[in-house]
Amino acid sequence: MIRAHDVLTGTGGRLAGELSRNALFRRVIHDSREIQPDDLFVAIQGENQDGHRYVPDAYDNGATAVLVSEDWYSRYNLGELPAIVVPDTLIALQELATYWRSLYTPHVIGITGSIGKSSTKEVIAAIAGQRFRVTRSAKSFNNEVGLPLSVLEITPDTEVVVLEMGGAYRFGEISELAEIAKPTIGVVTNVSHSHLGRMGSLEAIAETKAELVDALPESGVAVLNIDDERVRRMAERAKCTVVGYGLDETADIRATDLESHGLDGISFTLHHRRRRDHVSVPLLGRHSVHMALVGFAVGFQLGMAFEEIIAGFQQPTIQLRLLLVPGINGSTILDDTYNANPASSLAALNLLDELDARRKVAVFGDMMELGDFELEGHQMVGDRASQVADAVFVMGERGRIIGEQAKLAQPSLPVEFVADKPALLDALRAGLQEGDLVLIKGSRSLGLETVVADLRNERDEE
């Protein structure tokens, strides 16, 4: 709950219409479709849409008031409808979040990296929740709008806040988010080719991620994946304690004897604080060991016991991004459609390789925003697919590169090329067989989750 008085104090805005300074808002929301009674709707003007268009919808859905710009308000007569008016709604949202954060003193954990931010967030939140009252960013709220909204979820009872920070859109982005959130623990997972087309080079991407380390106070802790050389080097610019995690023998939190047990998760020996413990966690694929290690690293920094951390890994939310679902013709779908870049695609293929199935099928669409790495990145995935899959389906012009490379590496491999999602569905309907394990992966903009949904629905109708 947040009072109108706090909104006015945080934003410097003014009251309009019939609204008391003592009015209480249950939530601050920027999507009119999610508005419920007692919410405050913030009209954000984005690149493609202006949230002011949805002010009537917000009122209809029960918003107590709306936060709107002075320019818009001067052109539209809201009469006595309750509003808070500011020069710029995005800046006001950020200022409000900065003010709100200043009222409380929780541990704030900021997470950045090219891949794995959301899954790492869920692991850390599940672990911290074994002892503390936790607030975490919803969905992938990691930008100049989403992070402030997540900060505004902090309550007087909140002890730990877990936030995704930045999507490598521009230099200075994470620094600005850190000014709002004031993280006390910063986690950097990796630097990879995701968003290379936007940032231009891996070095530029690393520089944006390092802004989180730069922002940590001297009393803070930087938790760094030292198996990634670009992340390891960020320790040199930290003015706070650094905790390294990884497989490297110099890591503070280290794993050895790593084994994958398919759908039963992974196991390894955890080295920490002069101790060794055998660990089994229900995370899929050998690559997920880094997610487990960062969970231990942050848990220890929060003062948690080994047993509490282990209990956190049993929470169902930690398998957020990758699901096994039943498909048509007796197949099983490995749904990894949230996003795709070469690193995450190779990890998904490695997982497919580790799982048992009568036949393994790889389905790929385009990987976007790879810049100069586009050809090589798709070819790398094609090479690995040729080693793992018994059949390959590819969609789109970039996906074709994967298929062509897989065919070049393994001429006898069945590879089917399709142009779009309807053609992909038709091909999968005809091609999937009893006992197939089907990996489906592609960039978020392709919306391949609808293909998974269609295959599931058709299976239910059989």
How far is Cα 449 from Cα 339, in angstroms, rounded to an integer? 10
Per-residue confidence (pLDDT) for residue 460, from 0 to 100? 62
pLDDT of residue 314: 87
Residue 134: its H or E element: strand 134-136
Phi/psi for 391 (5° steps) reads -160, 150
Q: How far from chain centre, in Å, is Cα 157? A: 25
Ranges assigned E (strand) in 319-370: 323-326, 332-335, 359-364
Which residues lie across from 85 on neighbouring strands? 14, 68
Side-chain-side CA neighbours of 232 within 13 Å: the count stands at: 11
Q: 146: which 2 tokens?
A: 């989403």
Task: Measure the CA–CA gap between 303 and 305, rounded to whole angstroms.
Answer: 7
Neighbours of 185 (CB within 10 A): 24
Other CB atoms within 10 A of residue 262 CB = 13
- Nearest Cα to 247, choosing from 206, 293, 190? 293
Side chain identity at residue 303, one-letter code: G
456 exposure class (CB count in 10 Å sphere: 0-12, 13-18, 19+): middle
Angle, CA of 323, 328 and 331, to the nearest 5°: 60
Judge whether 128 and 134 are in contact, CB under 8 Å.
Answer: yes
Rg (CA), the chain: 24
Q: What is the pTM of this model?
A: 0.82
The DSSP letter of residue 330 is G
CA distance 365 to 360: 17
Instruction: Quickly list DSSP for 204-264.
Output: HHHHHHHHHHHHS-TTSEEEEETTSHHHHGGGGG-SSEEEEEESSTT-SEEEEEEEE-GGG
The predicted structure's pLDDT at residue 364: 94
Coil, strand or helix: which one is 391? Answer: strand
User: How many Å apart are CA 225 and CA 190, to the nearest integer?
Assistant: 7
Q: What are phi and psi of 135, to 5 degrees?
A: -115, 135
Greatest CA separation for the chain:
73
Residue 452: strand, helix, or coil: helix
What is the per-residue pLDDT for 198? 62
pLDDT tens string, the chain, 462 residues long: the values are 899 999 999 999 999 999 999 999 999 999 999 999 999 999 998 878 899 999 999 999 999 999 999 999 999 888 899 999 999 999 999 999 999 999 999 999 999 998 888 889 999 999 999 999 999 988 778 889 999 999 999 999 999 999 999 765 678 899 999 999 999 999 999 987 665 556 557 888 889 999 999 999 999 999 999 999 999 999 999 999 999 999 999 999 999 999 988 878 899 999 998 899 999 998 888 889 999 999 999 999 999 999 999 999 988 777 545 678 899 999 999 988 877 888 888 888 988 988 889 999 999 999 887 887 889 889 999 999 999 999 999 999 999 999 999 999 999 999 999 999 999 999 999 999 999 999 999 887 888 889 998 888 676 665
What's the CA gap between 193 and 205, in Å, rounded? 8
Dist. CA 342–CA 377, nearest whole Å: 5
What is residue 54's DSSP assignment? G
Closest of 215, 214, 213, 208 to residue 225, by C-alpha: 213
Length of the chain: 462
**CB contact at 8 A, 112 and 121:** no
Question: What gap in Å lies between CA 172 and CA 362, rounded to an integer?
Answer: 38
